[in-house]
Amino acid sequence: NAGVTQTPKFQVLKTGQSMTLQCAQDMNHEYMSWYRQDPGMGLRLIHYSVGAGITDQGEVPNGYNVSRSTTEDFPLRLLSAAPSQTSVYFCASGERDQSSYNEQFFGPGTRLTVL
Amino acid sequence: AQKVTQAQTEISVVEKEDVTLDCVYETRDTTYYLFWYKQPPSGELVFLIRRNSFDEQNEISGRYSWNFQKSTSSFNFTITASQVVDSAVYFCALSEFGNEKLTFGTGTRLTIIP
C-alpha cells in the first residue's frame, strides 16, 4: 500500500493563480480531510469528507474548494491564491468505526508558497 | 467547542535527560480520543498514540510513556533517556466520539542537545 499520497511536494504560485493539490489514498478509507500547518498555529482543518459525494467545511475553509467523486481521491482547489495561503498542506484519511476509532493517516505534505 | 493547549512552545534538554511534554484539553463530550503525533525535521506526521477517554491507564512504549488524567484534563507525554533522534515537533490532538475531525495543539518543539 502506498498509503496517502500528495502531489506536488512543493509549489510556488503568484497571487491570483489557481491550482489543485492532489490527494489519494489506497486504503479504502471513507474519511478524508485537508489541514494546513502554519508556524505557531498547529494544524487546522480546512475541509473534510465522510464519503464519496459528501464534503463539509472545517475551521478555515475560505478560499478553498473540495470535491469527492471517488473514495480514493480528495483534491483541494485554490481558486485565486493569496499570500495568506502560504502554508504546508496535509491530507489525511481514516476509517469510520464508531466502536473503536482508528488513527488518521497523513500524507507527506505539500509546501505552498504564494508570492 | 474543543480546544487543545500545549503551553510549552520550545524545550531543550541534554541527551539522556528525561523530558515531559504537557497537553491540556477542553471538551464537552464525555467520550473522546486523544492523540500524540511527532513531526521530525523531514516534515511528515508520525502517529505515536491514541487514548480513549474511558481508558485512564497510563501507557508505556519503550522510552515513551503517556499520563492521562481526566481530573485535570491532561494527557502528558514523557520521553525517558532522550536521544538526538527525538528532536522534533510534537503535537497533541483531540477528537470527539463520532466526529473524526482532529483539533490540534500548537505543538512543542523539542531539541535534544548531544
Task: Judge: A101–B45 Cβ closer than 8 Å, yes or no.
Answer: no
Distance from CA of B77 to the nearest CA of A (A): 17
Contact with chain B for residue A61, Cβ under 8 A: no
Asked if B68 and B34 count as a contact pair (C-beta separation under 8 A), the reply is yes
Q: Which three cell numbers stand for residue B96?
A: 470527539
Contact with chain B for residue A66, Cβ under 8 A: no
Q: What are the φ/ψ torsions at residue A61 (nearest 5 degrees)?
A: -85, -15
Task: Judge: A41–B106 Cβ closer than 8 Å, yes or no.
Answer: yes
At A100, the pLDDT band (50, 70, 90 cuts) reads very low
Task: Judge: B100–A88 Cβ closer than 8 Å, yes or no.
Answer: no
Rg of chain A on CA atoms, in Å:
14
- The top-scoring range by mean pLDDT among A20-24, A28-32, A50-54 is A20-24
Q: Which three cell numbers stand for residue A87?
A: 502554508
Q: State residue A97's pLDDT score.
A: 66
Distance CA A105, CA A94 (A): 6
Lowest mean pLDDT among A85-89, A101-105, B34-38, B88-92: A101-105
Q: State residue A12's pLDDT score.
A: 97
Position A26 pLDDT exceeds 50: yes
